[in-house]
Amino acid sequence: MDLCVENLPLPLDRSLYQEAIDTYLELSHRYIEALYVFGNVRHPGLSDLDLLVVPKDSYLAPLHLSLRDLLPRRFDPILEHDVFVVPLSQLGACRYRLSSPLSLVHGRDVLAGMMPETSVAAKLCNALEEANTMLGYVEQLKRAGVLNARSCTRVFNSQRYKIRRLVDLGMMEEDGYGEAIDTLRARYMAEPSAGCVLDMCRLFERSVAACARALGASLSLDVACFDRVASVSYGQVPVPFGGFEIADAQRRAGVITGYRQELVSRNYWYGFWFFQRMFPAPAARAPWHRIVFRVLRSGSRRWRRFHTSARPGSGQKPPAEPALLPR
């Protein structure tokens, strides 16, 4: 089936990324314990802005830390998702998510010395969740028949990290995906085109299928089955893979679930750093509490819209597009 390509990203000035960070800090620094940036901006315009915030313990902090709500519309081309939020009490969750260095840009370095979790179970659960999510993403693209190029090209690039995880586990060999996607991204930056995006998509689909086959063959498991993957991630069933310990999977699930619960209890409707479908939000707080906070949230957004529209060259931000990928 042919896919229609829309919303082609355009090359941008690299300075826009730093300007976005500076603007965010100017508006939110009073509620931030530490702010980190990660990832790289190899191709400005194709790359998005990845920020991790450790908030101060303030009831109103969630109203003042949403990247999407705060930044003016001109930063939209580099915002693929909201800031990730990890409270001080839940820093241990970072061990299960760290895959690239974090650079401190504000506050005290509360993650100094933090190392990624190295257990086989943690790596395997991450790989399974990623592969299941990417399979679902491919199916969503096919059903929609449309490629939002700005969003999709970033997902296509992230596939390289999924492959590295499987290479590290010994399930597959490096297949050159990273070099191939880099070549296509460089070609796109030189001459943006829908055809180049479609080439990236075809490469991505083949890679996702190859990763799913490698995992399925190694674990005798249907990677496309969400329930089967969830049972492994929560440490409910063993898998025939050397070094996998159910206790390690259960410990990981407990830490991530606790982190999710903490965000909900502190009224963060954004910022979760893992796959939401795998770790859904727990029961919310008391109805009266939710009502009070929703009123505050609505009032805060109206105040921001009024002041943003009053600034020359700004303008009201459009509603965020529905996410194709769990955040």
* 177-197 per-position pLDDT tens digit: 999 999 999 999 999 999 999
Which amino acid is residue 318, in one-letter code? P
- Shared-domain flag, residues 262 and 204: no
Q: What is the pLDDT of residue 76?
A: 95
Global pTM reads 0.86
Domain range for 226: 120-254
Work out whether the CA dihedral 187, 188, 189, 191 comes out positive or negative. Answer: positive
- Classify residue 265: in a domain, yes or no: yes
- Classify residue 65: in a domain, yes or no: yes
- Shared-domain flag, residues 95 and 49: yes
- Shared-domain flag, residues 167 and 200: yes
Residue 300 has pLDDT above 90, yes or no: no
- Shared-domain flag, residues 139 and 236: yes
SS3 per-residue string spanning the chain: CCCEEECCCCCCCCHHHHHHHHHHHHHHHHHEEEEEEECCCCCECCECCEEEEEECCCCCHHHHCCHHHHCCHHHHHHCCCCCEECCHHHHHHHHHCCCCCCEEEEECCCCCCCCCCCCHHHHHHHHHHHHHHHHHHHHHHHHHCEEEHHHHHHHHHHHHHHHHHHHHCCCCCCCCHHHHHHHHHHHHHHCCCHHHHHHHHHHHHHHHHHHHHHHHHHHCCCCCCHHHHHHHHCCCCCCCCCCCCHHHHHHHHHHHHHHHHHHHHCCCCCCCCCCCCCCCCCCCCCHHHHHHHHHHHHHHHHHHHHHHHHCCCCCCCCCCCCCCCCC
- Shared-domain flag, residues 62 and 139: no
- Shared-domain flag, residues 33 and 59: yes
How does strand 146-148 pair with strand 103-107?
unpaired
> pLDDT digits over 102-158, tens only?
999 999 999 999 999 999 999 999 999 999 999 999 999 999 999 999 999 999 999
- Classify residue 28: in a domain, yes or no: yes
- Shared-domain flag, residues 270 and 214: no
- Classify residue 322: in a domain, yes or no: no
- Shared-domain flag, residues 55 and 162: no
- Give me the percent of the chain exceeding a pLDDT of 70: 86
Cα separation, 103 vs 209, in Å, equals 33
- Classify residue 270: in a domain, yes or no: yes
What confidence category does residue 302 fall into, taking pLDDT thresholds of 50, 70 and 90? low
Q: What is the pLDDT of residue 39?
A: 86
Question: How many Cα atoms occupy the beta-carbon half-sphere of 132 within 13 Å?
Answer: 24
> pLDDT digits over 16-28, tens only?
999 999 999 999 9
Q: What is the pLDDT of residue 319?
A: 34
Cα–Cα distances in angstroms (integers) from residue 274 to residues 31, 324, 326, in the given order: 23, 15, 8
Which amino acid is residue 102, in one-letter code? L
Cα–Cα distances in angstroms (integers) from residue 16 to residues 13, 22, 52, in the given order: 6, 10, 18
What confidence category does residue 289 fall into, taking pLDDT thresholds of 50, 70 and 90? low
- Shared-domain flag, residues 175 and 94: no
Query: Could you tell me the two tokens for 283?
Result: 């029961």
> pLDDT digits over 83-115, tens only?
999 999 999 999 999 887 899 999 999 999 999
- Shared-domain flag, residues 191 and 284: no
* Averaged pLDDT for residues 244-266: 97
- Classify residue 24: in a domain, yes or no: yes
Exposed, middle or buried by CB within 10 Å (0-12, 13-18, 19+), for 155?
Answer: buried
Domain boundary among 233, 254, 275: 254
Greater confidence (323 vs 307) lies with: 307
* Averaged pLDDT for residues 280-294: 64
Looking at the structure of the chain, the number of domains it has is: 2
Question: How many Cα atoms occupy the beta-carbon half-sphere of 125 within 13 Å?
Answer: 32
- Shared-domain flag, residues 111 and 230: no
Query: Could you tell me the two tokens for 99?
Result: 């895959």
- Shared-domain flag, residues 208 and 287: no
Q: What is the pLDDT of residue 282?
A: 77
